[in-house]
Amino acid sequence: NENEPVDPNKHDDNNRKFTLLHWAVLCAQPPACINNLINQGYDIDAISRKGMKALDYAAGFGHTAIVTTLLAH
């Protein structure tokens, strides 16, 4: 239903168990976008199917500005 609130920590349906925050990090969205998601309630400690947090992916892909943003929270 379009009027129901969105669960910010709902995982995707493709078995990766990524949240929107995981996807934003993987797609190297700007730090302002990452901050926005966190401020809206997206869990920085959410774990993917592979046991990785958004910070793990940011560090693994060398997204240093995103790493700094995540560590600030």
Can you give the chain as a three-state secondary structure string? Answer: CCCCCCCCCCCCCCCCCCCHHHHHHHCCCCHHHHHHHHHCCCCCCCCCCCCCCHHHHHHHCCCHHHHHHHHCC
pLDDT digits (tens, 9 = 90+) for 11-22: 666 667 889 999
pLDDT digits (tens, 9 = 90+) for 18-71: 899 999 999 999 999 999 999 999 999 999 999 999 999 999 999 999 999 999
pLDDT of residue 44: 95
pLDDT of residue 71: 97
pLDDT of residue 28: 97
